[in-house]
Structure 1
Amino acid sequence: MTKPPLTILLASPRGFCAGVDRAIGIVDEALRRYGPPVYVRHEIVHNKYVVQQLQAKGAIFVEELDEVPDDAVVVFSAHGVPKAVPAEAKRRELIMADATCPLVSKVHREVERHHAAGHQVVLIGHEGHPEVIGTMGQVPKGSVVLVQDVEEVATLEVEDPERLAYATQTTLSVLDTAGIVTALKERFPAIHGPRSEDICYATTNRQQAVEMIAPNADLTLVLGSPNSSNSQRLVEVALRSGCPRAALVDRAEMLDWSLLDGVTVMALSAGASAPEVLVDDMIVAAQERFDVEVREIKTAEERVVFKLPPMPAARAS
């Protein structure tokens, strides 16, 4: 039988960012240096495939430090942690490695500077997200208030409108965040902003790439796990850009292929925590069902690399 035609508009940039590469490299290096098991507090990045690959090598993922035995090696995830977490790990004399993305650490330092200057911080982000929890945990409780949308700005209660600053989660929608920042500045004209944009380069680039290709597609597929904020935002960007349908899927084997019924042009991207192998697998799976033409659309070059930090010394046996 003749396969139906399918044009895949492949977003570029897509997939892993420098912070994710670094975080995974830290777990791999910890496993090489210390041997398994290595404990990782929270998923190192929000991708099921990546987590499963590291588990197969001997990584054990936990939610809290009390799940980590004494004398163990623990790695903190790319999303960052409250200051109380490394303090407790130090108290317990655990061997610890911090895989917090440097761009998240930048936001942490901003929040600390604003707090030291006597400013209450308004954090734009998603309640309960590990990055938000980590950022709010850099300063004493009550020093940071969270807003999630423009509507919350209207009812926001602050200690002193003249002594305010704002920061943002790094994986937000660029457009939504701009709207919230505008609302904050209109209501609190004296508010201080970050020295440079908090939303990370990779989040911005991936959203712009999807914004470019999605209007020309019948369907946009984003490879990424449901708990990945930056992947979820790509789906939203696709729909907002005019694509009639968009979906998030972990990997090809989990896709309901009926989604592609009647589709002749599909936009394809991957969140910043999704490895390129998942993109390759999706294209191969599509080729089994369709006569596929792949057109890669490049909207930006990425050359950012974050070096691995020095690893702590192993204990003498």
Structure 2
Amino acid sequence: MNDSLPDATATSAPIRLLIAAPRGFCAGVDRAIEIVERAIKRYGAPVYVRHEIVHNRFVVDGLKAKGAVFIEELDQVPDGAPVVFSAHGVPKAVPVAATERGLDWLDATCPLVSKVHRQAERQVEAGRHILFIGHMGHPEVIGTMGQVPAGAITLVETVEDVAELKFTDATPLAFLTQTTLSVDDTAEIVEALRTRYPHMVGPKAEDICYATSNRQEAVKAIAKECQLLLVIGAPNSSNSLRLVEVAERLGTPSRLIQRANEIDPSWLDGVTTLGLTAGASAPEVLVREVVERIGELRTVTEETVTTAEEKMIFKLPRQLAD
């Protein structure tokens, strides 16, 4: 925390702090972090992790301190070393290559992402081309597109992209989505796709995960009462960026921060009600850090606004289940 900023508590008006719930870690993130921690205990350090296990620098640095080594490609893993695949999922070729090298590997892919992977395989097996709604370059998108043969998926990022598609009514089509998208934006894209391709099939249930949906609904519940919303999350965290967008769509200015020391006291000028939430990769300790920092700047009245209860728990891989 940055203690160099001036303490304005004595001279500034009180501030009402609305804290969204649910916020922060989801079951998939909890599971992924536990997989890395248990792997370090079982195998000893170092344990290699392909890509950031989750998109949060505080979490990644904490795991590094315990013995995790983060790499981007499998060829950076020494022979005989254990490797964990991140919560975002990996192309099918990655575990195949790890097995061919004789590496001990653990898959920390969120089970809800794995569900989309299986759906992609089934749609291609059924002879359908997949229209995949997601953000180009995001590791989850790369992982999902890597589950099926090249050319079997077309990425759709915006409603405008739908107008550029060249498929005919005779082309068997299906759609799937990244799990961390804006619920509202995705609904608009799906509607545009269904209008253009009425024969397109889709998943029985929404691919956007429960945690993403819940956190967006929680932001909607507080945003209209706030003059500013702070979202704790990383700039490469899709679900955190969507929380910023949800607030701003409702007319509430929003700022993405990673730590409390990023807060500029001038942001609070004229703010009587401040909103606070955290993306699914941000731990609660960072929420409390931000609350403490606000308390140094203003007299704070905290209120938690709860819109859903989350009780989801995902099983660990069988290698670590004991």
TM interval, short-chain normalised: over 0.9
Which residue of structure 2 lines up, in the alignment, with residue 85 of structure 1? 94
Matched, 1:265 2:266: no
Contact kept in structure 1, 2:230 and 2:254, CA below 8 Å: yes
267, 288, 297: which one aligns with 1:280:
288
In 1, Cα distance between equivalents of 2:320 and 2:82: 10
Instruction: Tell me how far apart the structure 2 counterparts of residues 136 and 50 of structure 1 sit (CA, whole Å).
Output: 27
Instruction: Identify the residue that residue 83 of structure 2 maps to in structure 1.
Output: 74
Is 1:297 matched with 2:305? yes
CA distance in 1, matches of 2:65, 2:97: 28
Please report how far the alpha carbon of residue 160 of structure 1 lies from its aligned counterpart in structure 2 after TM superposition: 6.2
| Structure 2 residue 127 is the aligned partner of structure 1 residue 104 | no
User: Per the alignment, in what secondary structure is the counterpart of residue 216 of structure 1?
Assistant: coil
Corresponding residue number in structure 1 for 2:4: none
Among 141, 149, 167, the alignment partner of 2:158 is 149
CA deviations 1:191-240 (Å, max 9, x no partner) are: 00012110000000000000110111010000000000000000000011
- Which amino acid in the other structure matches residue 184 of structure 1? L
SS class of match (1:80): coil
2:213 is equivalent to residue 204 of structure 1: yes
1:226 matched to which residue of 2?
Answer: 235
Structure 1 runs of 4+ off > 6 angstroms? none
Report what 2:185 is aligned to: 176
Deviations 1:142-170 (A, max 9, x none): 00000000000001123764400000000
Counterpart residue identity of residue 275, structure 2:
A
> Is 1:185 the counterpart of 2:194 in the alignment?
yes
Q: Given that residues 265 and 297 in structure 2 are in contact (C-alpha distance below 8 angstroms), is that contact kept between their aligned partners in structure 1? A: no
Matching of residue 309 in structure 1 with residue 317 in structure 2 = yes
* C-alpha separation in 2, matches of 1:20 and 1:159: 40
Q: Which residue of 1 aligns with 2:222?
A: 213
Q: Which moved more, 1:157-166 or 1:85-94?
A: 157-166
Secondary structure of the equivalent of 2:224? helix
Secondary structure of the residue that 2:296 maps to in structure 1? helix
Q: Is the Cα–Cα contact under 8 Å of residues 22 and 306 in structure 2 kept in the other structure?
A: yes
* C-alpha distance in 1 between matches for 2:168 and 2:316: 40
2:53 equivalent to 1:44: yes
Unmatched tracts of structure 2, length 5 or more: 1-9
Q: CA deviation at 1:285?
A: 1.0
Question: What's the counterpart of residue 31 of structure 1?
Answer: 40
Alignment partner of 1:21 is 2:27: no
- Percent pairwise identity: 61
Residues of 1 paired with 2:168 and 2:61: CA distance? 45
Which AA in structure 2 matches 1:286?
I
Aligned partners of 2:276, 2:200: CA distance in 1, in Å? Answer: 39
> SS state of the match for residue 294, structure 1?
strand
Residue 229 of structure 2 aligns to a residue whose secondary structure is strand
State the alpha-carbon separation in 2 of the partners of residues 247 and 80 from structure 1.
Answer: 28
TM-score by length of 1: 0.96
Tell me the equivalent position of 2:261. Answer: 253
Conserved? CA contact 1:161–1:191, under 8 Å: no
Rounded to whole Å, the distance in 2 between the matches of 1:113 and 1:207 is 30
Q: Provide the aligned length of Structure 1 versus Structure 2.
A: 312
CA offsets, 1:76-129, max 9 Å, x none?
000000000000000101110000000000000000000000000000000000
